[in-house]
Amino acid sequence: MSFVKGAWKILVGIKDGLALLLLLMFFGLLFAILSARPNATTIRDGALMLKLQGTIAEQPAAPDPFGALFADGPVMREFAVRDLVHALEAAKDDAKVKAVVLDLDGFAGGGQASLATIGRALDDVRKANKPVYAYATAYANDGYQLAAHASEIWIDPMGGAIVAGPGGSNLYFGDALDKYGIKANVYRVGTYKSAVEPFTGNQASEPAKEALNALLQEIWGDWQAEVTKARPKARLQNIIDQPADAVESANGNLAQLALRDGLVDKLGSRTQFGDYIAEKVGQGLDETPGSFAQIDYDDWLDANELSDEGEAIGLITVAGTITDGEAGPGTAGGETVSKLIYNALAEDDLKALVVRVDSPGGSVLASEQIRLAIQAAKDKGLPVVVSMANLAASGGYWISTPADAIFAEPDTITGSIGIFGIIPSFEEALGKLGVNADGVKTTPLSGEPDVFAGPNETFNRVAQSTIENGYRDFLTRVAKSRNMTVQQVDAIGQGRVWAGGTARQLGLVDRLGGLDEAIAEAAKRAKLGEDDFHIRTIEEPVDPFTELLLAMSRDDDAKTVRLDLFGHAAMRQRLTMLQAAATAQELVGTTGVQARCMECDLMVPRGTQSALDRGGWAALLARWL
């Protein structure tokens, strides 16, 4: 009996101990969460700190909170373009902000149109007589595009700046598929619809190269023009035209080369940079070398919420690949986006709708689902204005067709009017294994498309005819929207991609301009003055628990990324390899007819959360739980 009593006391003790431990963990987590939340009351005079560790996106993808919280390495983040621009607009008129600091160590890039938008906001800060300081261990294309707008550019003496034009290699799987007996049965329309070429051959076709080269040259020219205008003293051509000679002339010292050619203003360590900023804006709260008075980015956003006065103009963002069904932010699920629009229209208080598009396209069915929802707004009598960001190609253009007006940036990638479908089959692979397929059919389409024996001629004809009909449907929608003939659209269609400037000349867009210009046009069409409206963002609310977990993981100085030029190259390689894997997955992962621009992936980095923020074993365990 005494043994039972003793065992019972041990069990009760364990239970009480676990309860106490869980209680302590709960209050500890609660304290950490409350401490990590943005706090507007902590803002004091100093420099607005923009630590851009990650990428810039039109609509950040839903992050993995456990991957961020338990990450073994640096936490990468996707920063929303609109948030950055709003933060800078608020900073230029607030006396608390003495300067803006761009920390570009660990910056993985963004679309050129997005970076140009942020660059204009930085220019406005400088026009308000507030300096902008940029620092990085090393600068690559995207980082330097932002840094060029700074009053002073600093670089680590161990770093450097290398400017390389856009472009690169794609993988072509033709021989590999032949080797393993896999056949990609492709159905497409469009001379330039190169999305399927990685699965049908070993290199890009000449028409595809011609179109892509023209696009890249136009975008690269715009990049050089923007940077030269922002920083006239930068002698870019030396490092662009003959990079090897330039580097050798500086004995391999890339930092000195950047200083000599005017790409940067000063060399110095992070500590020296911090001490310099402290002289301008004040000392930090601690006395750590290199600290200076800072205003936290998230706190600043929390303290400067958007106005909700006046009439409402709805803003819906369609970002990422357009997919069937539901999807989180950063991916345009047809069901999700259309439902958001219909729900907003049901409230019956919107005066106009602005559609921000940043998508390479995707599922035709999902694109049509979104287009119908946008058309419903127009049928209701609302002015509809489309604002194209970095990408509005294929399905991204399909959903833009109901607009009363289309705005694009000069560097927007648009067009790619064409569709395709891919169905893999394994008849040759099975033959190599000595396996054959046979059976009985009651009609020519019984069991088709046959994954074992390959689709028959009847199915191929049916599928190709369906694709051609879909392409005619695409042409008809564009022709009606743009007041063109089907023949005129076909001449500039065929799957060819265009930069925004050329697209305007061709009539695919109405005006060049960013989101602000599109909103102003929507307000004008709704007969609203510039002070008579506010923007209502149409989006799903963020899960509060997820938001708090993410807040706990941010701005940890111990996890700051520092990348020299080899580090930038390694990061770019990782993203390229992940993108190549995604391209290969398209062969078996694509469902339904696609209106998709694959070459767009060369120019806009995607997938930072999945590629660079997976976390370690603790994050994996948390995700399993």
In a domain, residue 104? The reply is: yes
- What region does 350 belong to: left with phi over 0, alpha with psi -120 to 50, or beta? beta
Distance, CA of 7 to CA of 14 (rounded, Å):
11
- What region does 348 belong to: left with phi over 0, alpha with psi -120 to 50, or beta? left
Distance, CA of 570 to CA of 125 (rounded, Å):
33
What's residue 184's pLDDT?
83
The strand pairing partners of 184, in sequence order, are 424
Please name the residue ranges forming H helices in 483-564. Answer: 486-492, 500-506, 515-525, 544-553
Residues 6 or more apart whose Cβ sits within 8 Å of residue 523? 313, 352, 529, 530, 532, 533
Burial category of 26 from C-beta neighbours within 10 Å (exposed 0-12, middle 13-18, buried 19 and up): exposed
**Enzyme catalytic residues:** 193, 394
Distance, CA of 502 to CA of 295 (rounded, Å):
41
In a domain, residue 320? The reply is: no
What's residue 453's pLDDT?
87
Q: What is the CATH number of the domain that holds 288?
A: 3.90.226.10
What's residue 3's pLDDT?
57
Burial category of 36 from C-beta neighbours within 10 Å (exposed 0-12, middle 13-18, buried 19 and up): middle
What's residue 74's pLDDT?
60
In a domain, residue 60? The reply is: yes
Q: Which residues constitute the domain of residue 279?
A: 36-165+204-304+559-586+608-624
The strand pairing partners of 99, in sequence order, are 47
Q: How many CA atoms lie within 13 A of 126 on its CB side?
A: 18
Scanning the structure block, which residue is given the tokens 């700190």?
49
What's residue 615's pLDDT?
42
Bridge-based pairing of strands 183-189 and 419-425 is: antiparallel
Distance, CA of 378 to CA of 402 (rounded, Å):
7
What's residue 170's pLDDT?
78
Scanning the structure block, which residue is given the tokens 């364990």?
14
Q: Which regions of the chain are under pLDDT 50?
A: 36-37, 555-558, 607-625
What's residue 525's pLDDT?
97
What's residue 470's pLDDT?
92
This prediction has a pTM of 0.85
141, 163 contact by CB (below 8 A)? yes
Burial category of 286 from C-beta neighbours within 10 Å (exposed 0-12, middle 13-18, buried 19 and up): exposed
What's residue 1's pLDDT?
57
Instruction: Give the model confidence (pLDDT) of 183-217 as tens digits.
Output: 888 888 877 666 778 888 888 888 888 888 899 99
In a domain, residue 348? The reply is: no
What's residue 275's pLDDT?
94
**C-alpha to C-alpha distances, 395 to 133, 194, 320, 504, nearest whole angstrom:** 39, 15, 11, 18
Question: Which stretches of 435-518 are assigned E, i.e. beta strand?
Answer: 497-499, 511-512
What's residue 622's pLDDT?
39
What is the domain count for the chain?
A: 1
- What region does 599 belong to: left with phi over 0, alpha with psi -120 to 50, or beta? alpha
Distance, CA of 53 to CA of 438 (rounded, Å):
56
What's residue 402's pLDDT?
96
Instruction: Give the model confidence (pLDDT) of 213-239 as tens digits.
Output: 899 999 999 999 999 999 999 999 988
Bridge-based pairing of strands 497-499 and 413-415 is: antiparallel
Amino acid identity at 60 = P
In a domain, residue 122? The reply is: yes
In a domain, residue 77? The reply is: yes
In a domain, residue 220? The reply is: yes
Distance, CA of 456 to CA of 113 (rounded, Å):
45
In a domain, residue 219? The reply is: yes
